[in-house]
Chains A and B, each alone.
Chain A
Amino acid sequence: MYVKLSHGGGAKETRELIEKIFLKHLKNELLSNEDATIIHLDGKFAISTDSFTVNPIFFKGGDIGKLSVAGIVNDLSVMGAKPLYMSMGFIIEEGLSFEELEKIVISIKEEAQKTGIKLIAADTKVVPKGLCDKVYINAAGIGKVIKEGISASNLQEGDVIIVSGPIGNHGAVIMAHRNDFDIDIDSDCASLWEAIEPLLKEDIEIHTMRDLTRGGLASALNELSQSSNVEILIREEDVPIEDPVRGFCEILGIEPFSLACEGTFVMSVPKKDVQKTLDILKNQKLTQKAKVIGEVIKKGKQGVYIQTLYGSIRYLEEAPGELLPRIC
């Protein structure tokens, strides 16, 4: 069966789609038939919203459903908040098969279970063929802040920069697929709460945490440098990059630092807390390849630098808007 325009019409067929696919897997006590869901909150909360589009919608290591949940969970987690609730809106292209849609919904369910985040509001719309690329998901999440003070503008001179794992896997997997390449790695797409929670509970002075998404490590570090007005130096040989990602970058002439990640983050802590942080990260499956990659060298000026393998230093520029292969 395929999603038809009439499935978005609001009548019987819409209910059928919702019952057969969405409620079948995502039903919980809070997801109701009302116009809005009512919840009780008390304390400090973090809210985040994000829209997800990816081509292909199924990729090595995940799909757009998993990506959406992980994306929301990660945005909340790196702000020191325990993910609690989320809402999701689906824009579905006419012609998407029920089978594919159900697969996506199941991975939403499975990914949400890992963190315990609950879907408490949802919506679907169907658009005519060609007006969207299979399915887009907009998600918003809310989480309870359990550790305060983590901020992109809180990098301090002398802070040590840690990356939670190898960079660029998601970007490489997606671009490889589009170029008809076959690559020996999975996307890093994952919910990071399970890795971040122990850090928040421990007595560690976390100054900054940021998940690497579009633009990869290069863009994240440049944003941090700007927000905190600091200079950051990283060392190329310390940045974890897996061989297939390296190979992929060589083939197309692009930089691994600019490739997207979907389950990897950077953080900054004062020197005294580095060992403790690494011990915790290395104990978690998702972050066992965590590494110190550099330091905040100075406050008062912006800039991100990278020391090459041979000791010389250059700028690490923000990623370009569209990665195009070099020809020569």
Chain B
Amino acid sequence: MKMNLSNKDIVLKAKDKLIKKVEKLGRPIKIMEFCGGHTHAIMRYAIDKLLDGYVEFIHGPGCPVCVASMDRIDLAIELAKMPNVIFTTYGDLLRVPGSYRKSLLDIRSEGHDVRSLYSCLDAIDIAIKNKDKNVIFFAIGFETTTPPTAVLLKKAKEMKLKNLFVVSNHVMTPPAIRYILNAGISHIDGIIGPGHVSVITGMKIYKEFDIPIVISGFEAFDILKSVNMILDQLINHERKVENAYTRAVTEEGNKEAQKLIEQTFDVRDTFNWRGIGPLPKSALKINKDYEMFDAEKVFDVKLPTSKEHPLCICPKVIVGKAKPTDCKLFGKLCTPENPIGSCMVSSEGACAAYYKYQRVELCM
């Protein structure tokens, strides 16, 4: 049997309901969806358009590709350019331009071996098949993507692989939310919390925040349901963490995954986020037990001083201070085929999602 949770009638009915509630509240509301997967769903189902004028969605910093800072991309590029290296990473990171607008795809076209992986474990097969090469996996992602990298490290150790290395760019959700809430960013009424991050971490990591937070699934009805719960909290003057994704998220989260992260990673003192800058205790590095696989320790590469395009307002877009359409380059010089900032790269990036699913007003 198939689970098909999209249901047009429910969505359309819910829309009317939500609009009535906003009217009852007496003002339009602003909701930040933290996770790039939600940004994508909101754009794809055009939920922002369904609730236009009532609910404004502000895209949060939850797209791992978009928050990868320029110096990390430069690091990736320098590693990929080393002789005798097979450089691997996830999907659309390949398109992100580093300094001088060069991306990993450009490096590949220059003859370097750069590959996109579906699962990080594929790096093991590549390492076994290419004993004479150094295979580097450039790991990106939030709490959901970290446990797979932990498994990769454990397996590499078990199998005593000598030619597999990992760069950890894993970042954590709470420090970013903390930053957004403290940064005095345009007033947010509530947050749609990340679904799959919460599957791993559980609900407990959101306890500290004093704002309506609702953890959501990725179907259209999930998102509307979460907006509904935020609205109810606002109407009742509440500020609590709620779970609208009970089919997957529990209070405690996935303990096995948490254990694996603890066994393989330590918290970094500080880490650079694109658009945000350095955030203390916001990212993970590979711990002592696995340092023989840590590419940052094993290889010594010189990085160019990174330079962002002066007109790109990604930093503001990422934290919800500006909309992509506020950028002078948007849709003109900067497009998904020829991205200037990282938010135009990943289809979860706010600029790319906007570009792709831009609102169209048709006179028909």
Direct contact of A and B (CB under 8 A): yes
| Pairwise interchain contact A324-B91, C-beta atoms closer than 8 A | yes
* Of B4-12, B154-162, B178-186, the one touching chain A: B4-12
Do A324 and B62 form a contact, CB below 8 Å, given A233-B362, A305-B360, A313-B46?
no
Q: Does A320 contact B (CB under 8 A)?
A: yes
Partner of A310, one of B62, B140, B220: B220
Which A residues touch B95, using CB under 8 A?
A: 324
Within 8 A of B (CB), among A249-295: 252-253
Within 8 A of B (CB), among A280-328: 297, 303, 305, 308-315, 317, 320-322, 324-328
| Pairwise interchain contact B116-A314, C-beta atoms closer than 8 A | no
Chain B min CB distance to A147 (Å): 32
Q: Does A113 contact B (CB under 8 A)?
A: no
| Pairwise interchain contact A315-B64, C-beta atoms closer than 8 A | no
Which B residues touch A33, using CB under 8 A?
A: none
| Pairwise interchain contact B45-A308, C-beta atoms closer than 8 A | yes
Do A327 and B347 form a contact, CB below 8 Å, given A308-B46, A310-B46, A313-B46?
no
| Pairwise interchain contact B64-A310, C-beta atoms closer than 8 A | no
| Pairwise interchain contact B357-A315, C-beta atoms closer than 8 A | yes
Q: Does B134 contact A (CB under 8 A)?
A: no
A324→B91 CA distance, assembly (Å) = 5
Q: Does B72 contact A (CB under 8 A)?
A: no
Chain B min CB distance to A221 (Å): 14
Closest to A317 in B: B356
Q: Does B90 contact A (CB under 8 A)?
A: yes
Q: Does B49 contact A (CB under 8 A)?
A: yes
| Pairwise interchain contact B12-A326, C-beta atoms closer than 8 A | no
Closest to B48 in A: A312
| Pairwise interchain contact A324-B92, C-beta atoms closer than 8 A | yes
Closest to B122 in A: A180
Do A324 and B116 form a contact, CB below 8 Å, given A308-B46, A309-B6, A310-B50?
yes
A322→B346 CA distance, assembly (Å) = 13
Interface size class of B (residues with CB under 8 A): 35 or more
Which B residues touch A308, using CB under 8 A?
A: 44-46
| Pairwise interchain contact B65-A320, C-beta atoms closer than 8 A | no
Q: Does B364 contact A (CB under 8 A)?
A: yes
| Pairwise interchain contact B90-A325, C-beta atoms closer than 8 A | yes
| Pairwise interchain contact A327-B8, C-beta atoms closer than 8 A | no
Do A314 and B362 form a contact, CB below 8 Å, given A308-B46, A325-B90, A328-B62?
no
Which B residues touch A313, using CB under 8 A?
A: 46, 49, 359-360, 362
Chain A min CB distance to B24 (Å): 23
Which A residues touch B35, using CB under 8 A?
A: 328
| Pairwise interchain contact B141-A314, C-beta atoms closer than 8 A | no
Q: How many residues of A contact B (CB 8 A)?
A: 26
| Pairwise interchain contact A314-B64, C-beta atoms closer than 8 A | no
Q: Does B275 contact A (CB under 8 A)?
A: no
Partner of A327, one of B11, B145, B358: B145
Q: Does B118 contact A (CB under 8 A)?
A: yes
Which B residues touch A179, using CB under 8 A?
A: 118
Q: Does B36 contact A (CB under 8 A)?
A: yes
Which A residues touch B362, using CB under 8 A?
A: 231, 233, 297, 305, 313
| Pairwise interchain contact A312-B92, C-beta atoms closer than 8 A | no
Which A residues touch B355, using CB under 8 A?
A: 317
| Pairwise interchain contact B360-A315, C-beta atoms closer than 8 A | yes
| Pairwise interchain contact B6-A327, C-beta atoms closer than 8 A | no
Within 8 A of A (CB), among B50-94: 50, 62-65, 90-94
Closest to A305 in B: B360
Closest to B6 in A: A309
Do A315 and B46 form a contact, CB below 8 Å, given A326-B40, A327-B65, A328-B64?
no
Q: Contact mask B321-364 → A, CB, 8 Å, 1/0?
A: 00000000000000011000000001110000001111110101
A231→B142 CA distance, assembly (Å) = 41
Q: Does B37 contact A (CB under 8 A)?
A: yes
Chain B min CB distance to A218 (Å): 11
Which A residues touch B220, using CB under 8 A?
A: 309-310
Chain A min CB distance to B232 (Å): 22
| Pairwise interchain contact B93-A327, C-beta atoms closer than 8 A | yes
A314→B90 CA distance, assembly (Å) = 28
Which A residues touch B90, using CB under 8 A?
A: 325, 327
Which B residues touch A324, using CB under 8 A?
A: 91-92, 94-95, 116
Which A residues touch B118, using CB under 8 A?
A: 179, 252, 325
A75→B362 CA distance, assembly (Å) = 33
Which B residues touch A231, using CB under 8 A?
A: 362
Partner of B141, one of A233, A317, A320, A328: A328
Identify the interface centre among B116, B118, B360: most chain A CB within 10 Å of its CB. Answer: B360
Which B residues touch A326, using CB under 8 A?
A: 40, 91-92, 346-348
Chain A min CB distance to B51 (Å): 10
Q: Contact mask A152-189 → B, CB, 8 Å, 1/0?
A: 00000000000000000000000000010000000000
What 11 new A-B contacts, CB under 8 Å, besides A253-B347, A327-B145, A328-B63?
A: A310-B15, A310-B46, A312-B46, A312-B50, A313-B360, A317-B355, A317-B356, A327-B90, A327-B92, A328-B145, A328-B348
7 A-B pairs within 8 Å (CB atoms) are namely A253-B91, A314-B356, A315-B357, A325-B91, A325-B118, A326-B91, A328-B142
B-to-A contact residues, CB < 8 Å: 2, 6, 8, 11-12, 15, 35-37, 40, 43-47, 49-50, 62-65, 90-95, 105, 116, 118, 140-142, 144-145, 220, 336-337, 346-348, 355-360, 362, 364
Smallest CB-CB A-B distances: 6 pairs: A312-B46, A325-B91, A312-B49, A327-B90, A314-B357, A328-B36
